[in-house]
Structure 1
């Protein structure tokens, strides 16, 4: 049921998604009451959105500092070569690094933007050696350390 001309998300789907993005443990009966559908209808819609990939995962959002990773770092990465194979190799490298929480292949002056969580700057230095300095296809990288997490929303606007 991806957003497409043949299967657009209707107002019920969007209302269900808005509730689930706030708390995905909300009982289907409660969701149904809020959106004026029966619990079985809500269940069918959720299952259809899961099967279509609209709902990609049901996860717990955890405070990184509570798990010993208080430092958030944003990294711009520029490659030497941008062949399809080189880009795919970089993607695989970033995917394999558990410290890399988010990775975006972007347009502009850099090739990738990474969001990294580390327990210390020493750990970040080790990561830079592993991911960047030991990779001949990394031209340069630039680091930005977050001073405060003002907003870290994961909810996609549904309106």
Structure 2
């Protein structure tokens, strides 16, 4: 699980243009990217390498349409634990990190202790997941799930 960075780096206009372009299409060649952001190819390559090594670019991935691969049910799940000691919170995070259907896990405050974003095939798959992660976990006090009926917006870009 990713935690907030303890430090930030200073981004200039070229870095911002590169990041914005990559967030729209990371499949571009270095030459295409360089042309789009108006820098030379060697400069672009060096900048992308620095942004990657410094952790600004965490990874480059393909975004898969869930409904095209059988994951038709999205759920936002609130979890409240009985004991919120640091070790118990970490233990729960490690449990959900092993579950492929849990796409995101956030510690939140106030309210529940965690909010999970879950993607599964159908309601029986959600029930099986809930049994594995919540019903059999002694420290889970409360589970509240919201099931998506329509996704009106999905974005992965961060304003830079």
TM-score range, shorter chain: over 0.9
1:106 — aligned with what? 108
Cα offset, 1:30, TM superposition: 2.2
Q: 2:152 aligns with which of 144, 150, 153?
A: 150
Which residues of structure 1 form unaligned runs of 5+? none
2:28 maps to 1:29? no
- Corresponding residue of 2:18: 16
Paired with 2:80 and 2:61, the residues of 1 have a C-alpha distance of 32
Determine the structure 2 residue equivalent to 1:70: 72
Aligned: 1:124 with 2:122: no
- Give, in angstroms, the shift of residue 26 of structure 1: 1.5
**1:110 alignment partner, SS class:** coil
Aligned partner of residue 80 in structure 2, secondary structure: strand
- What is the RMSD of the two structures over their aligned residues, measured on CA atoms? 1.3
Q: CA deviation at 1:151?
A: 1.2
Please state how far the C-alpha of 1:3 moved relative to its aligned partner.
6.8
Count of aligned pairs: 155
Q: Deviations over 1:91-111 (max 9, x none)?
A: 001101111011101111100
Structure 2: gaps (5+ residues): 1-5
Shift of 1:27: 2.0
**Aligned counterpart, 1:88:** 90
Q: TM-score, normalised by structure 2?
A: 0.93
Contact 1:3 / 1:9 at 8 angstroms: preserved in 2? no
TM-score, structure 1 as length reference? 0.94
